[in-house]
Structure 1
Amino acid sequence: MKRNLRSLITLSMIAGSLVLTSCGDSKKDKKDSSTHDGHEMHQEAEGMDHTKETEKSMVEFKNDTVEQAYKHYLSIKTALVESDHVAVKEAAGKLVDVYGEKARTNEIALRAKRFLDVSNIEEQRDIFSSLTKAMEPVLKEAISSGKIYKQFCPMAFGGRGDYWYSDSEQIRNPYFGDKMLKCGRVEETIM
Structure 2
Amino acid sequence: MKRIPRNLFFIAFSAGIISFTSCKENKESATDATQEDVKMTQDDNAKTIVQNAKFNDEKVASEYAAYLQLKDALVATDANAAKKAAKKMTGFENAEIAELATKISEETAIEAQRKVFSELTVLIEPVLENAIASGEIYKQFCPMAFDGKGASWFAASEEINNPYFGDKMLHCGRVEKTIQ
Q: TM-score range with shorter-chain normalisation?
A: 0.7 to 0.9
Asked if 1:154 is matched to 2:143, the reply is yes
**Map of 1:48 onto structure 2:** 25
Q: What residue identity is the alignment partner of 2:25?
A: M
Using the alignment, how far apart are the partners of 1:141 and 1:29 within structure 2?
45
Secondary structure (helix, strand or coil) at the match of 2:89 reads helix
Using the alignment, how far apart are the partners of 2:119 and 2:131 within structure 1?
19
Out of 152, 159, 171, the residue aligned to residue 170 of structure 1 is 159
Secondary structure (helix, strand or coil) at the match of 1:51 reads helix
**Map of 1:143 onto structure 2:** 132
| Highest RCO, 1 vs 2 (Cα 8 Å, sep ≥ 6) | 1
Out of 104, 107, 110, the residue aligned to residue 118 of structure 1 is 107
Using the alignment, how far apart are the partners of 1:159 and 1:114 within structure 2?
24
Using the alignment, how far apart are the partners of 1:108 and 1:80 within structure 2?
17
The equivalences for 1:70-85 within 5 A come to 70-85=64-79
Deviation at 1:48, TM superposition (A): 2.2
What is the TM-score normalised by the length of structure 2?
0.75
Q: What residue identity is the alignment partner of 2:89?
A: L
Using the alignment, how far apart are the partners of 1:122 and 1:189 within structure 2?
27
Asked if 1:187 is matched to 2:164, the reply is no
How large is the RMSD of aligned CA atoms in angstroms? 2.1
Q: Which runs of 5+ in 2 are unaligned?
A: 1-15, 38-50
Q: What residue identity is the alignment partner of 1:172?
A: N
Using the alignment, how far apart are the partners of 1:78 and 1:128 within structure 2?
12
Using the alignment, how far apart are the partners of 1:158 and 1:173 within structure 2?
15
Q: What residue identity is the alignment partner of 1:93?
A: K
Higher percent of residues as helix? 2
Using the alignment, how far apart are the partners of 1:155 and 1:170 within structure 2?
17
Using the alignment, how far apart are the partners of 1:130 and 1:63 within structure 2?
23
Q: Which runs of 5+ in 1 are unaligned?
A: 1-26, 31-44
Give aligned pairs, total. 147
Asked if 1:108 is matched to 2:97, the reply is yes
Higher mean C-alpha deviation, range 111-120 or range 68-77? 111-120
What is the TM-score normalised by the length of structure 1?
0.71
Deviation at 1:47, TM superposition (A): 2.4
Secondary structure (helix, strand or coil) at the match of 2:139 reads strand
* Identity of matched residues, %: 47
